[in-house]
Structure formats: structure tokens, C-alpha cells
Structure 1
């Protein structure tokens, strides 16, 4: 009795069946990316989650230092 040899499966051909994603699998991540990008590009509309003006001032200084460079 001889043992069966295991062979590797044949690689998929390029003309085979493609993978189809539902529409929301493409649209939802794209919407999230655009929303985050808009928040980054326009931070003046964002408001701090605190009412402490010292923290707000600190965040503004950090933002100015990152955007304009340190003197």
C-alpha cells in the first residue's frame, strides 16, 4: 500500500471569480477618513472639552508652535 502524497493547490488564475464587497465596506471608511481630515484641516471650529482657559491657551500655543515653528 502506498501513501497518498499531498500536493499544493493550484494558484488562482487571474480570470477567476473576483471578491465583491458591499457598498458600505467602501463608503463608510471613506466617510470617516474625510470627516477626520476636515477636522484636522479646520481646527478653528473645534472647541475644547474643558472650560479651563489655561488649557485652551496651552493648546493654542502648541498648535501655533507646530504650524509656524518655534522662534
Structure 2
């Protein structure tokens, strides 16, 4: 498949995210996603959203002692 064809199939407002991880970790992740009938993109998006909820705007209760 040509890049142009692939790009045409992307939903609007989507972009590519790339990173390097251990080969075995990727395989385990792919197998687990397949077992749950989810795409790796769906799971990664869910995980990023969850991480942002916890880390983007920390509540005062989560601030370390000594912070104002």
C-alpha cells in the first residue's frame, strides 16, 4: 500500500506517534491487544488519556510536601 493510500484512510484529526520499545514487549502488547480485540492504537490512546488525567493538572492533594 502506498503512503498516499494509507494517509487517505486515516480519520480526520489523527496523527502518527512513533517510539522505540523492546521487541518482546511490543510482541506481548500486540498479542494482548489482539486477545482483547482492540487495536494497539486504541489501547495506547486510552493509556495516554489516563496518564494525562493523572499528570497534566495534579490536584493539591497530589502535590509533594513543601510545595505551595
Give me the TM-score of the superposition, normalised by structure 1. Answer: 0.33
The structure whose Rg is larger is 1
